[in-house]
Amino acid sequence: MNINYLKRAYFLLISAMFLLSTHVSAQDNSFIYKGFAVDQETFSDVSGVHVFNQRGRGTVTNENGYFEIPVYLNDTIMFTRIDYESKSVVISDTSNLSNSIIRLKQKVFILDTVDIYSGIPEPTHLFKKEQRGAYIPGITREIDADQNDKLGFGGSMMSPATALYQAFSKKHKEEQKYRELVKDERERNEVEQKAYERLSEILEIEDIEMEQESYDQLVEYCNLNLDWVARSNNYDLYIRVHDCLSKYVKSSK
């Protein structure tokens, strides 16, 4: 038998045994790291947490927050979930590889304030609340500020005589002007009521008691616009009112 062939076979055998022993030794140095992921504040189980280490191995916590993952000494294990802050654990020893408790802190998302307005348009001249008789000269009647009879000359809901009267009558124009004034007054009252409600919310936050009769003085002292107060968001209103409110309370004592 060829001696060189025997030497080559012997060398290959020794190499294979060395590689096998190295692989077995490496397997003996691995450990199973297991535990639970919980919420830092409530200690409730957190499922769906991605658990992975620097060697590329990974797993996900189950519905009870439980995980198992093979590790080696000095591995860095990462815990991540979109609504929690990431956390890392270094496997420095084997004393705490079972039933480890990983406490995760929830992320805080601060969103910009969004103002939402209704897209429903106000009633136009195409709509009538109800049909009512037109004004006839010589016959007086109470003017209804809510009456919506804005169909003009040629409107299909009134007679030609009524249409002519509404188009050219001074009395009718005065009625229309009166309705507009009443409508403006009603809108101002609604804005004022809404503004006072908003101010009441700020006073409640500041734990300040104030008679509603003093709201006008507060508005004047802080140089506030009632329309702005009624439409502003809570943050902007609080920032605007906070400083002058404390000064007003001190000055009113």
Is 20 inside any structural domain? no
Is 47 inside any structural domain? yes
What integer pLDDT is reported at residue 186 of this predicted model?
84
Are residues 93 and 166 located together in one domain of the fold? no
Which residues in the chain come in under a pLDDT of 70?
1-11, 13, 15-28, 117-168, 170-172, 253
* Residues contacting residue 230 through CB under 8 Å, at least 6 positions apart: 191, 192, 194, 195, 198
What integer pLDDT is reported at residue 205 of this predicted model?
77
Is 206 inside any structural domain? yes
For the domain that residue 87 is a member of, what is the CATH number? 2.60.40.1120
What integer pLDDT is reported at residue 59 of this predicted model?
95
Is 11 inside any structural domain? no
What integer pLDDT is reported at residue 78 of this predicted model?
95
Query: How many domains does the structure of the chain reveal?
Result: 2
243-247 LR contacts (CB < 8 Å, sep 24+): 245/202, 245/203, 245/206, 245/208, 245/218, 247/221
Cα separation, 197 vs 201, in Å, equals 6
Cα separation, 139 vs 125, in Å, equals 26
* Residues contacting residue 193 through CB under 8 Å, at least 6 positions apart: none
> Domain limits at 182?
160-252
- The pTM of the full predicted model, rounded to 2 decimals, is 0.37
Is 118 inside any structural domain? no
Is 58 inside any structural domain? yes
Last residue of a domain, one of 110, 140, 171: 110
Is 201 inside any structural domain? yes
Cα separation, 176 vs 165, in Å, equals 13
Is 61 inside any structural domain? yes
Are residues 240 and 164 located together in one domain of the fold? yes
